Amino acid sequence: MLRLENVSKSFGKAGVFDASLRLEPGEIVAVLGASGSGKTTLLNLVAGLTEPDAGRIFLGPDDVTHQPPEKRGLAYVFQDHALWPHLSALDHLLLVMKKPDREAAHQLLERVGLKGLDARKPHQLSGGQKQRVALARALAARPRLLLLDEPYSALDPVLREELRLEVASLLRAEHVSALHVTHDPDEALAVADRVAVMDGGRIVQVDTPTQVYTRPQTLSAARAFGRLNLLPVQVRQGQAQLNDQAWPVEGLQNGTGLLAFRYEDLQPGPQGLLARVLAVYGGRGERLSRVDLGVGEAVVKLHAEPEEQVRLAPAGKLRVFEADG
């Protein structure tokens, strides 16, 4: 469906550098990264709004590297909706249809949850309803590929979570391929078949959300999903030294590095590292504790009380990255 081959676009030190990526028919790929990581530039290169300095872009068998946006058959859903104030919800769809079909437009509005709101103009709609119109308009154009640029970031958290799941379900039902830019790791986990993590304009890892979360290949990929503890450690022959403990690790085998682990990666165990609970946090059905491990502090998923002492051991092999990251 989409193939990027060593695509670069430089704006000085910012931009996109040597990016390669494939997106299969019907697949949703999330491009995840912090502000300034190159996500939107990558999307604009695919859309044809920006021309690359190097590399090639293919849609299906077609090389579209230098093709103008209107020739690519794509649809773009922006963060700010980009709706026309004088048009109704229905008119937005009819305007982009190759053959305007009022019945098909009504059905599409109903599928995105806008039944009975066909005649409303943007100022008569809520933020979530505007974003649904923008999505319906994009789908009405029957695009080869749907591009979404932080489409839910302006919505409140409850509506954001609800809408992103509805949209992902709809895209899969319609078998629409999508490239979805987000800075929100929860969103990437919820909607994507695969995640492309960007840092400093480069794609540092592409894999399933679960694989990137549990087995990040770089420190920046690990940080992209949050819920991360980092402790400086000495590693000898694949063993991280923590007080009287030696934990087997992946990654760095010898030298000084950063032990990286998620909140759920340490579990109580009689032979574990002695830790003291400093504070307890609750929310979203889980209980988290900030603990002093003797070699540094960490947040772990643990049922305990402040000042309680527990022993914690890794549930599996943890990863150590080089200290210079």
When the pLDDT of each residue in the chain is averaged and rounded to a whole number, the result is 91
Confirm if 46 and 179 have CB atoms less than 8 A apart. yes
Out of 81-85, 96-100, 261-265, least confident range = 81-85
Q: CA 281 to CA 34: how far, in whole Å?
A: 26
Q: Does 285 or 97 have the greater pLDDT score?
A: 97
- For the record, the structure tokens of 119 come out as 């005649």
Strands 286-292 vs 297-301: parallel, antiparallel or unpaired: antiparallel
Whether the per-residue pLDDT at 218 is higher than 70: the answer is yes
Q: According to CATH, what is the number of the domain 2-223?
A: 3.40.50.300
What would the mean pLDDT of 251-270 be, rounded to a whole number?
A: 94
The CB-side HSE value for 75 (13 A sphere, CA atoms) comes to 22
Beta bridge partner(s), residue 92: none
Classify residue 188 by burial, with Cβ atoms within 10 Å: 0-12, 13-18, 19+.
buried
What would the mean pLDDT of 319-325 be, rounded to a whole number?
A: 79
Write down the residue that tokens 């080089």 correspond to. Answer: 322
pLDDT band of 1, cuts 50, 70, 90? confident
pLDDT band of 159, cuts 50, 70, 90? confident
Q: CA 62 to CA 277: how far, in whole Å?
A: 58
Confirm if 42 and 31 have CB atoms less than 8 A apart. yes
Q: CA 177 to CA 2: how far, in whole Å?
A: 9
Where are the chain's structural domains? Answer: 2-223, 227-322
Confirm if 93 and 114 have CB atoms less than 8 A apart. no
Q: CA 319 to CA 261: how far, in whole Å?
A: 7
Out of 156-165, 183-192, 266-275, least confident range = 156-165
Strands 309-314 vs 266-283: parallel, antiparallel or unpaired: antiparallel
Out of 61-65, 186-190, 282-286, 314-318, least confident range = 282-286
pLDDT tens column, 126-148: 888 888 898 889 888 888 899 99
242: part of which helix (H) or strand (E)? strand 239-242
Structure confidence at residue 301 (pLDDT): 94
Strands 318-322 vs 245-251: parallel, antiparallel or unpaired: parallel
Confirm if 185 and 222 have CB atoms less than 8 A apart. no
Q: 308: alpha, beta or left, given left = phi > 0 and alpha = psi -120 to 50?
A: beta
Confirm if 236 and 254 have CB atoms less than 8 A apart. yes
Confirm if 306 and 204 have CB atoms less than 8 A apart. no
Structure confidence at residue 20 (pLDDT): 97
Structure confidence at residue 323 (pLDDT): 76
Which residues, at least 6 apart from 170, have a Cβ–Cβ distance to it below 8 Å?
Answer: 111, 112, 135, 139
Whether the per-residue pLDDT at 324 is higher than 70: the answer is no
Structure confidence at residue 160 (pLDDT): 81
Q: Tell me what percent of the residues of the chain surpass a pLDDT of 90.
A: 69
Backbone angles phi, psi at 256, to 5 degrees: -95, 130
pLDDT tens column, 161-181: 888 888 888 888 888 899 999
Q: CA 165 to CA 28: how far, in whole Å?
A: 12
Strands 74-77 vs 145-149: parallel, antiparallel or unpaired: parallel
Q: Does 155 or 227 have the greater pLDDT score?
A: 227
Confirm if 3 and 186 have CB atoms less than 8 A apart. no
Confirm if 46 and 33 have CB atoms less than 8 A apart. no
